[in-house]
Structure 1
Amino acid sequence: RHGMRLDAADQAWHLSTPTPYDPPLTYGGWNQCRALGMRIASLLDAREQESNAGSGHSDNGTKRKKKKHKVVIHTSPFLRCLQTSVAISAGMAQFEAPKDRTSSSRPRTPSQMHSASPKLPLGSQKRYRKTKLRVDAFLGEWLNPQYFDHITPPPPSSMMVATAKAELLQTEEVDTFTPTTTQRTSGGSLWNGANNRAGSSRESPLDDWSHVTNALLHAPIARRDRSNSASSVGSNESSGRKSPFRPKSPFRHGHGFQPLTSTMPKVEASTYYPPQPHYAISNSDTIPRGYISHARVNTVNVDYHWDSSRHLQEWGDGGQFGEEWSSMHRRFRRGLNGVMEWYSQHGSEERGEDALGLEQVMTHESTDDDDQEDLVVIMVTHGAGCNALIGALTNQPVLMDVGMASLTMAVRKE
């Protein structure tokens, strides 16, 4: 189920929006769902470790493949469920598996520490995998008229799905806090000399290069061959000639900060680091601007072409206004059966509209041949929908109050 919604924290929120039927999450709800994503990742990691602990060779002598999980999220088109899905994906990308301390507990000699080679070469460290996100109309809210006595009811499910995909396309910049500092005159030279420009000022902490200059003054000069561009620049500098390929130094002639380029390949992070607010914020406040876009860009692969209400899936729509409890249960049961049948015959990357496989080529991720992928489907929906899904899984009538950002896990029988 989705996390804490904003209209529950602000009772007058529906008076200030044109879509009172579609409230977003609060900042506390966002953190709830991120924690839920980390919980899901820890459960999947425990299952992988348990399965791989017995891996080795089978009875016929062949090597068993290691188990890996491929995650696909199916979400309701309502905004609170979209944000919950992105937060779950961000939390899963934040998860760090506990490191094995058995080998690190042994004392190592200095010679062993000096001769040890890194486990992963530079540029080959494994990055967290993005989760596939698909919007389904059948996972929408129960259209009970009592829910919408004082607010406008939602539009048809086709409009809700289109609005959800448009929402996922939006990008926002992250709000950053920049402290203002008073201008002051520098008391000493950057190079610990006497030739300091009078009246120089620092407009921000980024202009403080003292830690950089200290490192440069004590850094040894590296000698390289003539083919290396660094040695060529150094030779031109020593001979009095100025290389046109060398960037201007930020320490000369009062120039401001300029980013230094590097030819070293950037190492992708193995875990996702979300932006954090540097100011006091309540759990009942709105999510800071840009946080959702930042998580979506870095952790989610949205399938914009997916439409399960049409051919080939035909899992049904989101119901009609005035929907009965039994009709809502049939809607979710039909959709769940469609999900099970679809993924039993197709992979997570396959869809009917992509006949040429263009998306698979663009989003292809290299996998080890020794790994066996197990598909994990996460369904994000509302409280009534959770009752319907649990009832469809257990084949029993269910009527319970499902908690916010709660998890119900089911394993398919072989």
Structure 2
Amino acid sequence: MWKSATVYQLYPASHHIAKLDYLKNLGVDVIWLSPIYRSPLADMGYDISNYKDSDARYGTIEDWDRLLAMDLVVNHTSDKYIWRPGKSVFQGSAWEHDSTTGEYYLHLFVSKQPDLNWDNPVVRSDIWDNMQFWRASPQIDVINCISKTDGLPDAPLVDRMQYYQPASMYITNGPQVHKYIKQMHTEVLSQHDLIMVGETPFTHEASGLAAYVLPQNREFNMLFQFELMDFDSRSESPLLKNFWTLGELKAIIGRWQRFMRDDGFWNAAYIENHDQARSVVRFWNDTAQWRAVSAKMLIILEITQMVTLYVYQGQELGLKNFPRTWRIEEYDDVASQIYWNLTEYQRQKAQGKEAVEMFDILDSFAQKARDHARTPIQWNAGAHGGFTTGTPYMRVNDDYPEWNAEQQIGDETSVHAF
């Protein structure tokens, strides 16, 4: 059943919980929610302050019991961090100083998302307890990062032109990762009928990811691998656009379609999610003439693969990135803001004066920023696209009066109908 399922990812901050009947009419088999846990929203809910309570904006635990399916974030955020004694001040480091203890805690992502110490059995026990509490989780966030290289070595200096240095060799697919996932399977997954997909960033080599999925290993049903999501990015940042060819795209999809099929390896297909810009912009043509055709072709690209299909909210409408004319102040995502501020700091330092506006960075942001997937869904041509009668947390895309769900439903030529 799960191999032929269509999974629809819902990003609660910009969807509309009262519109769930829309998904039923769309023919969705599984709803996957980005986190609705209680959170201070430093990273839009992926920084969790209480693993056993829901954010009041999205309802109550009783409401959750009627729904059951959410992204599980267990690599980072807890009160049991990975601590080390301080040696120096690491500006821009993955280590954050805590003045109370005089030590530093590890955070692979923003400083308000400290990494959990999976080597601590008490932490793992808490995670199993939380998973049992929610009783569902289709995706486990950055699961290949839960075990780090022994000794937590510093990343080597490989590019003096970059402020940050790549460290994926030390933070992914670590020595205990499969041991811990197998324990997860024994303690939780084997006790429930769940679809389990692991998110595995920073790793493109298929042979290194096979062990997570092969049935005899009793770990996950499938993975979100990132090769297709990364091939149009420059090495220094996923927010920067890289040129690509159709041959490269076809080779990546073909390789993953054929990989260990006879041994039971199974793929998940996605071309959009809450961390990716809109696909009609990234992979095709979003001009007025070609936008609908492009969205339909990308739908065909996904559904003709032998995979479990994942669709991100708005993808079925052919939603696109917001305009290039929007200034940096409109970019709400922490990743965009951090990269912008860092790059501006570097330029000011190099020039010794106030930096000029960075049009080249905004050009890439207009193509690649995560913010484009997070604008409110455009339900109709009313104020704020029918998303709210108040003030939305993020501006609705400018094209909502002529491109919205109400306009497409019932139109036999629309992306939604297709």
- Normalized per residue, the structure richer in strand is 2
Q: Which has the larger radius of gyration?
A: 1
Query: Normalising to structure 2: TM-score of the pair?
Result: 0.22
Query: Normalising to structure 1: TM-score of the pair?
Result: 0.22
